[in-house]
Structure formats: C-alpha cells, structure tokens
Amino acid sequence: MKALVILSGGQDSTTCLFWALERYGTGNVYALGFDYNQRHNAELNFARDICADANVPFTVLSLPVISEITDNALTNQSIAVDEHKPTDTPPNTLVEGRNILFLTYAAIFAKSNDIRVLVTGVSESDFSGYPDCRDAFVKACNVSLNLGMDYPFIVETPLMWLDKAHVWQLADKLGVIEIIKNKTLTCYNGIVGDGCGTCPACHLRKKGYDEFLCMK
C-alpha cells in the first residue's frame, strides 16, 4: 500500500515520514509540502533535503490564498509571535483551517496517484490550542473525504497521543534522532535544529527533548 506524508520539514512531520517508511517501505512513500507564505517556509528546503536523502518523492503545492484570507503571526510577519501560549485563547500562530485545506489537497493529490493512506503529524497531546489537531477533527475529516471523493482514504496520525518527549523517543526507536535534532526546522523564526529558543515551538521542542533524555 502507498502512503502520502504531509511534510513540513519540522520535527513531527519528519518523524512521521520515517514512521511511514518503516511501515510501508521505500518506494511506497511520497511526501507533500505546502507553501502558504509562512514565515518559516525555509522548512520546505529542509523537507526537500530529507526526502532526497531518504529517496522519497517530494512535491510542494503553493497555497498563498491562506495568507490572503487569514491574519496570524505565521503568515503576517508584522505580527510578533507570542513567546508564551495564552491560557484562554488559541495562540496567535493559529492558521485557521490550515489542516482542513492540507488534508483536502493531500487527498486530491493522493487519489490522482492511486494512494490511499494519508499521514499527518498532528497531536492532541501537544496540540497547542489548535482545534484542527484534534483526533475528532481528523476522524470527521477522514469520513468527509471518503464521502466527498468516493475513495477509501485512511488518515494515519501516528503522533496523535504522543507528547513531545515520546515523539523524540519514537525518532530514537526509528534510528533517526540525529536527523530530527539537527536537520529539521520547527522554529517559527526559521532557525534550524534547536531554533531561536524563545518562540513557543522551540520551548515545546526543548522541553520534550529534556524529558526524553530523562526517560532514557
């Protein structure tokens, strides 16, 4: 069976890429990235390099419309990224509807290439207040895609119930922790590896890594 990984070039989606390679095998895994004018779109270059090294075909779709109809810190660089996640509202890095669009376009691409499995790195354990990272959303979207396209998609979410420490642990088990640590870009300010150290994505990544080291 063939699988399509929605790949940003960050920690979570790259871990999912290697999870898919182990599960479905080289030659059966494809990757799809999205350029939506995100402030850290250098991540796509890292995704491209990782795919080249892993011999995974990688396609990037341009979705600038997202930045035209939403206003947030990821697509509007005049808005500073919140250094700390608000407790009562989603963070200002929330891109409304992003995963709905990503899964929809991924499904179109997949059906056109005879691919049934879609893999996305969303997590309800570390979902940061993003409503479209929840398990209920993914399951509902899976049903909608199957009905709307009359095709038996399977949406896989290998990280859904893993916090960042356990995502690091999974990368370690897959034998790719050095790739994840040094060659992925999670930082909202576009700094590879350990990142800027101040944005929420960097805080979450470092906290998870420190907790992972304590688990070893």
Q: What is the mean pLDDT of residues 124-128?
A: 72
Tens-place pLDDT, residues 63-102: 888 877 877 657 667 777 766 666 667 776 667 778 999 9
Sheet holding 154-156, edge to edge: 58-62, 29-35, 3-6, 117-119, 154-156
In the numeric block, the tokens 């063939």 are attached to 2
CB neighbour list of residue 75: distance below 8 Å, 6 or more residues apart: 36, 37, 38, 39, 66, 67, 95
- Segment 142-163, tens digit of pLDDT: 999 999 999 999 999 999 999 9
CA distances from residue 57 to 29, 31, 72, 88, 133 in whole angstroms, order as listed: 8, 6, 31, 41, 25
Angle 164-173/200-215 helices, nearest 10 degrees? 60
How much is the average pLDDT of 100-111?
A: 97
Higher confidence at residue 94 or residue 28? 28
The answer on pLDDT for 211 being more than 70 is: yes
Helices within the chain (DSSP H only): 11-24, 43-54, 65-69, 98-112, 135-149, 164-173, 177-183, 200-215
pTM for this predicted structure: 0.93
| pLDDT at 200 > cutoff 90 | no
Domains of the chain listed by start with CATH number: 3-163 (3.40.50.620)
